[in-house]
Amino acid sequence: MIKLQIRIGDITDFNGDAIVNAANHSLLGGGGVDGAIHHAAGPALNNACMKLNGCKTGEAKLTDGYNLPANYIIHTVGPIWHATKTDAIQLANCYRNALRIAVNHGFKTIAFPSISTGAYGYPLDQAAPIAVKTILQFPSDIAVSMVCFDERTADAYQRALQNYESGF
């Protein structure tokens, strides 16, 4: 059974098996958490990402963690918010496919950011329940940290977790 912890912090400080990068299609860095991860990991990450030939929305790819405390980075591309059912499916796939990679590589700890809720415009109150449900329904015993950039984001994930646990 998955253990989910929600906390405020900087995902680049996570010391565990893997962190998840909310990447863009090129995987070559960008703004927000993507830019912070590329900056903290160092230039070798960009070189590794060039060899991956990008990533489609909802899919995930793995690289080493380079200069990060985490051993690996799982890159996933979240959906740009269009208010369609496809958005929710793609967002759930981001979490599911990242967890699949983690389990397939024997990882015991993984940290996620809030995928698609920044520049991609996914409403936090809709993204958080999708993330929580997808993570908690994944068949594994991996320890998951949801590392939120600020209190507002952490509160949304905490509410989603409480609603999930109480059956709402």
The CATH number assigned to the domain holding 78 equals 3.40.220.10
User: Residue 86 above 80 pLDDT?
Assistant: yes
Q: Smallest Cα–Cα separation from 108: which of 33, 3, 7, 12?
A: 3
Give 143: exposed, middle or buried? Use CB within 10 Å, 0-12, 13-18, 19+. Answer: middle
Q: Which residues are catalytic?
A: 34
% of the chain beyond a pLDDT of 90: 96
Task: State residue 59's pLDDT score.
Answer: 98
The parent domain of residue 77 ranges over 3-165
- CA nearest neighbour of 4 among 131, 151, 90, 156: 131
Question: How many other C-beta atoms are found inside a 10 Å radius of the C-beta of residue 69?
Answer: 12
Per-residue pLDDT tens over the stretch 105-152: 999 999 999 999 999 999 999 999 999 999 999 999 999 999 999 999
Query: What is the total count of domains within the chain?
Result: 1
Give the closest residue to 17 by CA, choosing from 101, 133, 76, 135. 101
pLDDT of 31 strictly over 80: yes
Residue 167 has pLDDT above 90, yes or no: no
Q: What is the pLDDT of residues 58-73, one digit of tens each?
A: 999 999 999 999 999 9
Is the pLDDT at 168 greater than 80? The verdict is no
- In a 3-state reduction of DSSP, which class is residue 79? coil
Mean model confidence pLDDT for the chain: 96
